[in-house]
Amino acid sequence: MCKPTVIARKGNIAVTQCVNCKMVNIWNKGVLISFTFSQFSSFVEVTNDLDFDNYLENSPDGVEIVVLATPYPDISLVFTREEWYNFFSALAEATYMQEIYRMVHS
């Protein structure tokens, strides 16, 4: 049975995990991204050092954004600066919480 636990929350972002399915979900307004535990840690690793300013683009509305590819072809995430900050803070916090859970439950 699914027992999702919230392991991080920042702005509009919430990260939950289910230890039974070994899945991590990132909830961001209308978008829900699901990862296995190992996909999640690879994603965090790959995106860890990305600097918002190095990838700046302008959205159709003229807002400064960064477009980030996901492990799923044809689906990209779009971030404003604040959303970017919240997203990666939430991922860092989630990774930290996973470590804690691992120590407590293994």
Shortest reach from residue 18's CB to Zn ion, in Å: 3
21 or 68: CB nearest Zn ion? 21
Task: Give the shortest CB-13-to-Zn ion separation in angstroms.
Answer: 20
- Cβ distance to Zn ion smaller for residue 18 or 44: 18
Query: In the bound complex, what is the minimum distance in angstroms from residue 94's beta carbon to Zn ion?
Result: 16
Strand order in the sheet with 31-36: 4-10, 13-18, 23-28, 31-36
Whether 18 contacts 4, CB under 8 Å = yes
Are the beta carbons of 70 and 33 closer than 8 angstroms? yes
Instruction: Determine the Cα–Cα distance for residues 93 and 9; give it in Å rounded to an integer.
Output: 8
| Positions in the binding site for Zn ion (CB under 5 A) | 2, 18, 20-21
* Pick 40 or 79: Cβ nearer Zn ion: 40
